[in-house]
Amino acid sequence: MPSKHIVVIGASAGGLETLRDLVARLPADFAAPVVIVVHLSPDSPEVLPDILSRSGPLPAVHVRNGDRLSAGRIYVAPADRHVVVEPGRLRLTRGPRENRFRPAVDPLFRSAAQVYGPLAIGVVLTGNLDDGTAGLWAIKQLGGVAIAQQPDDALFRSMPESAIRHVRVDYIVAAREVPELLVRLTSERVTVPAGPLAKPPSLDVEVRIAAEDNPVDAGVLALGEPSAFTCPECHGVLLQMHEGGRVRFRCHTGHGFSARSLVAEVNEQTDVALWSTIRAMQEGALLLETLGQHIQQHHGGGSSPAFAARAEELKRQAETLRQIAVSETADAGEVVREGWPD
């Protein structure tokens, strides 16, 4: 096992502003590598390392596959790639998306826990939903240090709030206090157990999945019982996993979801399907009106009234669905954002 600490940080919405302030307070002689995942869309402009390098004394770079970890250096996950920690180095992968994202925070945190054990320090910052909670739990299970931003200090409180609710975090601090805390923690001497650490049963399997191993060969089918739900990504059956009082899901192709992220994805797909149905009905009404006009003009009327009646019926149905789609009662995402019962 490596003899020095690693700091892994996860953020989502509001992460840019928070990270700029955080790295500005880290000293030039910081004693550990810092690896950061911020949720990005695949086509995001890759400017975060430049911004962070200008914000503080530590150089920041995008992770390149096989990068060796060096103290006093910031490594940022690029768009559309997970970052997996290996002994002394980093690996980039296109493993299955987790919690609707690639890069996701949980794969980074789990792999850091697997390799560094008590020398891993995980930090969950501002963001929506709950990516990072399962990974921070793994860090804590293997003796590492768990830090969460004070939710009242976060631009978006959901991610740190979830971490605090489900993980026995060691420190809950404002973002401006994190750098000083990291300096102190990385300077402390940590006793690493001589024997093998008691890993959560799912840890190795999920790290292998993120590292692009075949999920079935990695053992995904042993992670939980088949549920009644299908994967929004690939439509395979989701396995239901129980971990630390929480429920999570994985399909046999490897896509992973927390309960919150699964609800968010289903809600988004329901919204897409609803508007697609509205569009189809409106197009059907327009088609019937056009055909009715054609019959009226070229065939002396005929069945044009029936076309017009059916077109009006489709318009009424489409408007009913449109009113549902735009109403607050259709926003199941409100449950995810505000009313989650955990």
* Per annotation, catalytic residue among 5, 39, 82, 255: 39
For residue 227, pLDDT over 70 is answered with yes
> Is 80 part of the annotated catalytic residue set?
no
Mean pLDDT of 303-316: 84
pLDDT exceeding 90 applies to what percent of the chain?
Answer: 72
Q: How confident is the model at residue 195 (pLDDT cuts 50, 70, 90)?
A: low
For residue 3, pLDDT over 90 is answered with no
* Per annotation, catalytic residue among 5, 12, 261, 304: 12
**pLDDT tens, position by position, 5-41:** 999 999 999 999 999 999 999 999 999 999 999 998 8
Q: How confident is the model at residue 149 (pLDDT cuts 50, 70, 90)?
A: very high
pLDDT for 326 equals 84
Mean pLDDT of 73-101: 96
219, 95, 85: which is closest to 139 by C-alpha?
85
> Is 276 part of the annotated catalytic residue set?
no
Beta bridge partners of 334: none
Place of tokens 């669905």: 321
Domain boundaries, the chain: 6-187, 214-254, 261-337
CATH class, range 6-187: alpha beta
Write out the two tokens for 81: 């790639």
Mean pLDDT of 309-334: 79
* Per annotation, catalytic residue among 131, 202, 255, 261: 131
pTM above 0.95, yes or no: no
> Is 131 part of the annotated catalytic residue set?
yes
For residue 340, pLDDT over 60 is answered with no
For residue 333, pLDDT over 60 is answered with no
pLDDT for 309 equals 87
Write out the two tokens for 279: 């569009």
